[in-house]
Structure 1
């Protein structure tokens, strides 16, 4: 494969997104087909770049389909479940996560159960709640102070899931990922408030990410 010019790919995809008249292409499926045709008709992108551009458009299309529960379902070739996404199967990566429940714990059943619940409700492989061991963090820097905690920034090493690899049947990770941390103070008094805040945030993020 030739070297891909990602800045150009992103620019062409943005043009395809902005060109679609929502009065004509009035649902996610019509807009996706229109965007694909714009990319395929482009005279500057190479064939490899068009393939990558359409893959990225499909990734956005998958997001829209699963978040809106809208579209024609297909039978997954791996698990035989009916799934909405094209580039992955929602059930395959949920099963993958479930099989790994025994490989991690915070030592707190409430938090473990919350994370597991969120993972089982995850619809996109790049929007998965995950426990981060402290030794997977680097460049931890103080940012500010909140009501119950100090706020830090950090880099998550080899951390966040990015996409589902259907061939390998596993979730693929980003190498490094910038995150925000909370360091709890007065844990005994703050624990329930913090937990309820985290629970609300995770449930909302999981639904609308």
Structure 2
């Protein structure tokens, strides 16, 4: 008797916390592909991503958005931390993941499903990004 099953693509490990190929693993695999240029900011963003195991948690994960993914950037105001801008983001936020399959049903590729392309985002240009603390990071985000 033949048996059939899904073949896991190379590089997709099972998460030890949720026992599934979860969002946190996918985010972690992409850490090498981006940086803000500030180790503290990178760690803050990565921590939110490592907490995003489920479909519901992915909405709380922050992403570093490269400047070339933004357009129509407009100055809004200045506060004690720096300047605030508004921009449109070409890609939009991650809402889920999806898989590409081959003819036999094997998983070939795991991609992000995004929502709201060209969505508005707020940008913060910090006066002292090297002095960023957890409390300040929370204030910037929320």
Q: TM-score range by the shorter chain?
A: 0.5 to 0.7
Whether the 8 Å CA contact 1:114–1:199 is kept in 2: the answer is: no
Matches within 5 A, 1:2-151: 79=14, 91-122=21-52, 123=54, 124-151=57-84
Corresponding position of 2:118: 176
Give, in whole Å, the separation in 1 of the partners of 2:78 and 2:15: 49
Count of paired positions:
119
Whether the 8 Å CA contact 1:156–1:178 is kept in 2: the answer is: yes
TM-score by length of 2: 0.66
Compare the two structures and name the one with the higher helix fraction: 1
Over aligned residue pairs, what C-alpha RMSD do you find?
Answer: 3.1
Give, in whole Å, the separation in 2 of the partners of 1:195 and 1:81: 27
Question: Relative contact order (alpha carbons < 8 A, sep ≥ 6): 1 or 2 greater?
Answer: 2
| Unaligned 5+ runs, structure 1 | 1-76, 84-88
> Which string of whole-angstrom CA distances, capped at 9 and with x for unpartnered residues, describes residues 7-35 of structure 1?
xxxxxxxxxxxxxxxxxxxxxxxxxxxxx
Corresponding position of 1:196: 135
